[in-house]
Structure 1
Amino acid sequence: MKIDRTYIFVTLSSIALLLVLAIQVNYLLNTAQIKEQLFNEKANMVLDRTALALSNDTATIKNFSLMGSENETKKIDSLFNHFLKIYNFHIDYYFELKTLSAANSLQIPNVSSKSEKPVEDLKIGTIKNTNEEEAGCYQTCLPAEGGGDKMELKLVLPDKAQFIRAEMGVPFITSVLLILLVLVMSWRTIMSLLKEKKISEHTTDFLNNMTHEFKTPLTNIALAGRMMLRENNVAREEKIKHYSGIILEENDKLRLQVEQVLSMTALERGEIPLQKKELDLHELISHSLKCMGLQIEHNDGNVNIQLDAEHFEIMGDKNHLTNSLCNLVDNAIKYSGNKLELSVRTYNAGTNLVVIVSDKGIGIDKEYQKKVFEKFFRVPTGDIHDVKGFGLGLAYVQKIIQMHDGNIELQSKKGEGTTFTITLPYV
């Protein structure tokens, strides 16, 4: 089994991309952990230094043990505020100091303060309910005056999570942008690669089809030329006319095939402007069927024509619309086998003229129906080149119809036939 190197490359690239994303996410998580560790260290240092200063302030400890007055609350608040400034820690906080005696516990419940930051950063406010998941809570013990009950000093930083996120702002945004950039560039690269692979496959198919298409006319021309050289003088004139006819016929086939390729390329580049004028589409349909008459007759064809549209004048390019109709008829002939059953019908729908071209041929599998209008696409038939063409006919038809402000749709069922519905605005 042949391994497609393109899909291997895409798979490996996708795996590499996932690894890069995993590394980037891991980097963000590690950065968050480091920021949290630094935050905790700062908070503990502020708490420890405040506790040390408080334990050395015997008057404050004594007064708190006796009554827990408001003055002691302000004193503790000023200590926290002082050490927060020293560590450049600008964050809202509140604290609690209480004895650890089971019999007598004095508390300063939910005493709150704001650090004295610059005016633009700080404000005085009341305490709000603290989200435990967002807050940081730190506590330590200090002895009471005279060897009495121990005391617990608690520091609560309600905006811990928000503070850490703010600290991570630059690396976080940078990482997200890098991840998005890698995703977009990788997606563009993979899509471009798959598109190039598809173009390469179409090019290969086109070259193979072109080889088959050119092979028969060239062989016939060469054979006719050799036969002309071998003819004797008796029947030479009559034979020359016959073989010359073959040469001219095959030459016309080659010319038309080359023109089809060049016309499609020119249309895509916008190098062929349409020569629009008012046309009788019914007359155009009759003319197209007449041009395809020999091929229809050769395939023992039966054509059913129902031109029911009351408004059949359109603004269009006669040559390109004729070629488009001929392409649809030719497509029906190619895929109808030995017996052609062709139906052409018109009717009006609103302000539009609808043309339906249907056959009872081999039909098209559902998986290929969306691709039949792609340039160079031909319904796979294995290695048998039993249907001629470059895969340009339907792409050309769709392009011409769209340039006439119309659209074309396909309905087909395998083994039952194919129907093309063209909608064009009438005059």
Structure 2
Amino acid sequence: MIYPKKLDIAMTYANKEAAVLGESADIIRNSLLLITVILGAFGYTIYTINRQKKLSDLKRDFINNLTHEFKTPIFSISLAAKSLKEKEEIKTSEKMSSYVNLVSTETKRLQTQVDKILQMALLDSGNLHLEKKTLDLHELISQVAESFAMIIAEKQGEIKLSLQAKRHLITADETHIKNVLYNLIDNAQKYTDGAPRIDITTADTEQNDIQLLVKDHGIGIEERVQKYIFDQFYRAQQGDIHTVKGFGLGLSYVKRIVEFHKGTISLKSQPGAGSEFSIFLPHVS
């Protein structure tokens, strides 16, 4: 015989058990739904990453093939221009000589741009190989500055060297360090209204590094865009800066090469007051 009180207790327990099971089912159902959403998001992320990687590989291969295809005709045009310069009929004709010089100059500019693209592709692929050896940074600065002497003189400008560092031997890849110097000096003379004035100095630091400063008195860079200046393909939209052609690869390349040499680079600039790039490189102990 079941007493009413016991029957009520049994029913209450059954109701509580059913309620707990109902709540548990809701929790399990929500948990499964959440897990499904997480797995779906994870799967989509993996798919997106793989797709982006394939696109990146495709872009890199395309750039490599394109730049290599450009190199042959550029080299041929360069040789042809050089041969034409030696012809007497070209030497005696001021107009023809100016045309040949224009072809030669523009070919060199195109070669520089192609080299920049190829170097960035090598950096992105991780296949860049640095042939490091002991170098005199002061000698490299003097050599690169000398190559700009004629260009700057034609613009009635000047380039001053104040190489004060006493320990100026570095372990570096000569070609790439020269490219770093070339890019910084080239930017300094291009992004200047009127006669370019460029100051290049070196100094020893308390951290046993060598500091290299490249300062110009050009148009400068606004503070709001300075944080993007080392980004690949970025070009500041300020004043008539786009009268100077380029791909926005130079400073990105410079930063990555400096970092490959365990160095750092920073920028100080004000619009109308010029820019100063500061590089710190470890010297030979």
State the Cα distance separating 1:186 from its structure 2 match: 8.6
Question: Which amino acid is 2:92 matched to?
Answer: E
Q: What are structure 2's unaligned runs of at least 5 residues?
A: 57-73
Aligned to 1:375, what secondary structure does the other structure show?
coil
Larger radius of gyration: 1
Q: Deviations over 1:236-267 (max 9, x none)?
A: 65228825444333322222222222222123
Matches within 5 A, 1:232-243: 238-239=92-93, 242=97, 243=99
Question: In structure 2, do the counterparts of structure 1 residues 188 and 411 end up closer, same or farther at CA, with 3 Å as the change threshold?
Answer: farther
Q: Deviations over 1:295-340 (max 9, x none)?
A: 2212222333222222211110011101111100111111111121
Match of residue 69 from structure 2 = none
Q: Deviations over 1:90-144 (max 9, x none)?
A: 49xxxxxxxxxxxxxxxxxxxxxxxxxxxxxxxxxxxxxxxxxxxxxxxxxxxxx
Question: In structure 2, do the counterparts of structure 1 residues 258 and 238 end up closer, same or farther at CA, with 3 Å as the change threshold?
Answer: same
Q: What are structure 1's unaligned runs of at least 5 residues?
A: 1-49, 55-75, 92-159, 200-217, 229-233
- Identity of counterpart residues, as a percentage? 32
State the Cα distance separating 1:382 from its structure 2 match: 7.5
Q: Distance in 2 between matches of 1:237 and 1:303?
A: 31
Higher relative contact order (CA 8 A, sep 6+): 2
Matches within 5 A, 1:369-408: 369-381=226-238, 385-408=242-265
Cα contact 1:282–1:312 (8 A) shared by 2? yes
- Alignment root-mean-square deviation, CA: 4.0
Q: Distance in 1 between matches of 2:90 and 2:31?
A: 88
Question: Which amino acid is 1:177 matched to?
Answer: I
Larger helix proportion, structure 1 or 2?
Answer: 2
State the Cα distance separating 1:82 from its structure 2 match: 3.6
Normalised by the length of structure 2, the TM-score is: 0.73
Q: Distance in 2 between matches of 1:184 and 1:370?
A: 32
Aligned counterpart in structure 2 of residue 338 of structure 1, from 181, 185, 194:
194
1:283 counterpart = 2:159: no
Question: In structure 2, do the counterparts of structure 1 residues 304 and 282 end up closer, same or farther at CA, with 3 Å as the change threshold?
Answer: same
Match of residue 425 from structure 1 = 282
Aligned length: 255
Match of residue 166 from structure 1 = 24
Question: Which amino acid is 1:172 matched to?
Answer: N
Cα contact 2:189–2:196 (8 A) shared by 1? yes
State the Cα distance separating 1:88 from its structure 2 match: 7.6
Cα contact 1:299–1:333 (8 A) shared by 2? no
1:313 counterpart = 2:169: yes
Aligned to 2:170, what secondary structure does the other structure show?
strand
Normalised by the length of structure 1, the TM-score is: 0.51
Matches within 5 A, 1:51-70: 54=4
Match of residue 355 from structure 1 = 212
Moved more, 329-338 or 261-270: 261-270
